[in-house]
Structure 1
């Protein structure tokens, strides 16, 4: 499913259920030793996706534990992102050099809880969503905005090591192309001597899910 919004040079894995036979590394087991069942299932199945995505890069399984602000601790030479929600777990990985950063997110295609939109959005974004809603379509645009902003943060943090608030990026969708553009409203990280001023991403709506993906190519990315 997610491969439809990814470039060919990344490796991905996704699962729509929680397999019962996933074995965690001791370092991973320690992370969730006190976790409730829901958190344990999310974490464990996401690591199964990570193993499969690593294999797609020709790499062996290794423990991947959360670091600062929950950012996965990827092995040297690997760039990646993980997401999980009800009915979906996924991981997308690439080789450093071919990929600069990745941010993926999945959410149920349903309305946001009351009051959340005002917290995560800017006035111009809410106007943009109203315009999109008038033109129809299958996406729950409020939820898609939340999903896109989560992808933006996941792409931003590995480059900066800093928090990015919801109001510090502005997102606009192009429903005909299935894409979105995120404009940073704060100074961006400098990559290869150039300031990153925003991110481009893709959005997929299918089977009751909204999935967003940002993959920033690196200098060695295939043409």
Structure 2
């Protein structure tokens, strides 16, 4: 399974995904994107540039204007009018996903190296009940880095939440329940946003692992 196929596997059909595994073919940044990395080290600049190249390719495939995707509030990407999207990058993987807002209200993706979290990180990003659930999953399916999956899924939760609210969401404000079947449920522990006239109290997502890369994604459909 290639990078695009891996990312597409966790997203519904209305969402267009583009991904790559190197920075070799990244195009130049738009002037409005430059300020985000003007003082960055070369590795950070490379991953940012490739992420924006993936985003422009995804916009083109969607049929949307291939515009700049500058960094906005709280470092969230700023998409063309009528488009929702998300960008991710980690060691050996860069990707972007976009959709029409009329079909998908918000999308969040995250990619991580598929290995255990550094010591102490899990305690900082999870509750006692979440850790108990991960222990059960690890006993049944030790081949999956469940702690990394929880971290990644919460990143996808935040990326989905922020465009709907414009507010921060802490790791402790969503309770995650991953499942071995490639899905996860994130219950919001704070007041959720009103979308299409209804309060959103949880997000459903998908996850997959291939070639040492773990990806998670959420796409909130229009009602």
Match of 1:209 in 2: 213
Match of 2:49 in 1: 44
Matched, 1:103 2:128: no
- Mapping of 1:1-223 within 5 angstroms? 1-20=6-25, 22-175=27-180, 177-219=181-223
TM-score in terms of structure 2 length? 0.95
TM-score in terms of structure 1 length? 0.95
Structure 2 counterpart SS, 1:26: coil
What are the superposed Cα offsets for residues 64-109 of structure 1, whole Å, 9 maximum, x if unpaired?
1111111101110000001000000000000011001101000001
Structure 2: which 5+ residue stretches go unaligned? 1-5
What are the superposed Cα offsets for residues 176-221 of structure 1, whole Å, 9 maximum, x if unpaired?
x2100000001100111111001000000110011000001114xx
Structure 1: which 5+ residue stretches go unaligned? none
| Higher mean C-alpha displacement, 98-107 vs 131-140 | 131-140
Match of 2:3 in 1: none
Does the 8 Å CA contact 1:10/1:92 hold for their aligned counterparts?
yes
What are the superposed Cα offsets for residues 25-47 of structure 1, whole Å, 9 maximum, x if unpaired?
11112321211111101110001
Aligned pair in 2 of structure 1 residues 190, 60: CA closer, same or farther (>3 Å)?
Answer: closer
* Cα distance in structure 2, aligned partners of 1:151 and 1:7: 15
What are the superposed Cα offsets for residues 118-141 of structure 1, whole Å, 9 maximum, x if unpaired?
000001000000000110242100
* Cα distance in structure 2, aligned partners of 1:143 and 1:71: 22
* Cα distance in structure 1, aligned partners of 2:41 and 2:25: 16
Question: CA RMSD for the aligned pairs?
Answer: 1.0
Shift of 1:59: 2.4
Structure 2 counterpart SS, 1:103: strand
